[in-house]
Amino acid sequence: MKNNLFRFKKFEVLQSNDVFKIGTDAVLLGAATNCENVDTILDVGCGTGVIALMLAQKSRAMIYAIDINPAAYELTKQNVANSAFANRIKIFESSLQDFSPEIKFDLIVSNPPYFSSGIIAPDKNRALARHDIGLCPDDFVINSIRLLSDNGRIAVILPEKQSEEFTIRCLNAGLNLRSKLIIYPKEGMDPVRTITEMSRYESDVVIKSVTIERNKRHEYTEDYRKLTADYYLKF
């Protein structure tokens, strides 16, 4: 059990073999997402609850976390209960399509499934986490807009190709591109992920980039250290 406990500076996250474990994508999304002027947040596909906890640390917002996977729902409940932010995070076992709270959200975040082709994992829980069989991109955009406040924003982390497709879907649905954070794994390599932020309102588009490592493994760049310094113990 000890090896399944991921320690951050201000909270701990218990992991399980039944729920997709914490990866760099989730940490990047939690660290990079701007929570200024945000009162309500929805974390779609919360998994271990790590993104909800990261956003709770940097904001005073009320956070709703949802997951269709019963194991993820139970794990997030446990991790939130063991944190200092339990009074500001509510957890629901629900799909995004079926989720109908009484409030709207200023910010919707997701580290969504993105393997829309290829061999589907035989384990149902891992398949839901890695493939879009439970939440296709169109459903995600339509239902996120349904739950957005008048000044709401959506932030997701996706591979490059899926990020471009997501942006087009959002633009076609009437949203506006607000920012992109392009993520490079190492210096000199092609980007592997993009954090895309869409909003109901028009604004100047901000495009930035961050490189995780230099040429050697675990030799982290200063930009990556600064981005994640409030969370990782090693920084």
Give pLDDT, residue 114: 59
Best CA proximity match to 157, nearest among 114, 120, 186, 115: 114
Degrees to nearest 5, angle at CA 53 with 223 and 141: 85
The amino acid that residue 91 corresponds to is: I
Tokens of 21: 């474990």
Give pLDDT, residue 117: 38
Give pLDDT, residue 216: 86
CATH classification of 2-168 is 3.40.50.150, yes or no?
yes
The model carries a pTM of 0.91
Per-residue three-class SS string for 92-120: EECCCCCCCCCCCEEEEEECCCCCCCCCC
> In whole angstroms, what is the distance from residue 175 CA to residue 155 CA?
12
Contacts of 217 (CB under 8 A, 6+ apart): none
Degrees to nearest 5, angle at CA 220 with 218 and 223: 160
Three-state SS for 135? coil
> In whole angstroms, what is the distance from residue 206 CA to residue 204 CA?
6
Degrees to nearest 5, angle at CA 38 with 37 and 42: 165
Give pLDDT, residue 217: 87
Give pLDDT, residue 101: 98
Best CA proximity match to 160, nearest among 188, 135, 184: 184
| H or E element in which residue 76 lies | helix 70-81
Could you list the mean pLDDT of each consecutive 10-residue stretch along the chain, which spans 235 residues?
A: 83 94 96 96 97 98 97 97 98 97 98 55 45 74 97 96 96 98 96 97 96 93 98 95
Give pLDDT, residue 113: 73
Domain ranges for the chain: 2-168
Give pLDDT, residue 3: 59
> In whole angstroms, what is the distance from residue 31 CA to residue 230 CA?
8
User: Cα Rg for the chain, rounded, in angstroms?
Assistant: 17
Tokens of 160: 């490059």
